[in-house]
Structure 1
């Protein structure tokens, strides 16, 4: 045991905060960590603190008696490049069992190249998996005025990555919100950010894909 501990210490000192042989589920009795790395859609932009879908996820898990801690590392305005830069420190600090990636919308809104968005998300997926975490990718879409060709290429970033990397996917995070008959009533005045009323639907979109990734019991 001493030799193993010494080896782990040496790996950590060399910058390998995560050794592939280590389980990411934490010490016995410690809560499982779900890390959410997103943008304003997950950062409770424009709504009261504690009312966003991430906070609602924590409440649902607690109501089910699950020993799970949800860490919301989302930043309004963040891009995939920003998330990629922040992720290594987040993995090392929180040691998550599951990483939810909700990024890419701001890349498209800013006209950033889709190959860069794809590369950044792929790097985040691989870093999370190398750290021992399971990954859930939240797909996005753009409004119709962006043109069907661009929208199809943008959607394919998520579907292709999920297939190629073998990770869980929510095809469209805003399903039933942005594309529903009551869309106008579910957005804030900027017509970009879902309001408080829409947050339970966002959680319901995520939950079926997330639940299988959580430890049983």
Structure 2
């Protein structure tokens, strides 16, 4: 009788162990199958300012993910006119709400247009990167450059702050988001009438600048 009880106990423990293992395996499979979330926090360059809805680089990214069969969804939290201070103030709630796997930070251009201190822009980008990393997300910074009329020294320092934050925070970086758009021989053909916002024709190039680095973070 005692031997029978011991055998029954061993059987029950073995069954429990197998059930727990299967439950863990299925949970892991479900987690792996769930799509990643890409959170884009940007300004008018990502918010489709002056464009027909669905033609900006972020909607094009959504189509790209489908075409490439990458299991990820995109949340576009970009606001026209936003600065790094604005993005920093609303990032915490966005991270809590969407729990992103990747955060794309496309901010800073409006800081420069308003002549805000470079140290403040750099500090805000660093703080946002740190917050996203603490929340478990990988970060991609989209760097910007300024036209020559802002002065060579200011322009160099502005472009360099993205590199500095990416290096110090170990974040991914696209050195110049508007490469192939703002630095061509006649950039006016790729901009709207205000000569500030890229037109619909430029959006595919903007996505092409982002995609290689973003794809790495989604693997």
Q: 2:53 aligns with which of 49, 54, 57?
A: 49
Q: 2:91 aligns with which of 87, 93, 107?
A: 87
Partner residue, 1:176: 180
Higher helix share: 2
In structure 2, runs of 5+ residues without a counterpart are 1-29
For residue 27 of structure 1, report the CA deviation from its aligned partner: 3.8
1:151 correspondence with 2:174: no
Larger Rg: 2
- Alignment partners' CA distance in 2, 1:182 and 1:205: 19
Residue of structure 2 in register with 1:134 after alignment? 138
Equivalence map 1:13-52=2 (5 Å): 27-52=31-56
Tell me, yes or no, if structure 1 residue 115 matches structure 2 residue 123.
no
**How many pairs were matched up?**
190
CA distance in 2, matches of 1:148, 1:208: 29
Which runs of 5 or more structure 1 residues have no equivalent in the other structure?
Answer: 1-25
Q: CA deviation at 1:30?
A: 2.3
Query: How far apart are the structure 2 equivalents of 1:87 and 1:168?
Result: 18
| In the alignment, structure 1 residue 72 sits paired with structure 2 residue 72 | no
- In the alignment, what sits opposite 1:125? 129
In structure 2, which of residues 205, 211, 216 is the aligned counterpart of residue 212 of structure 1?
216
- Alignment of 1:105 onto 2:105: no
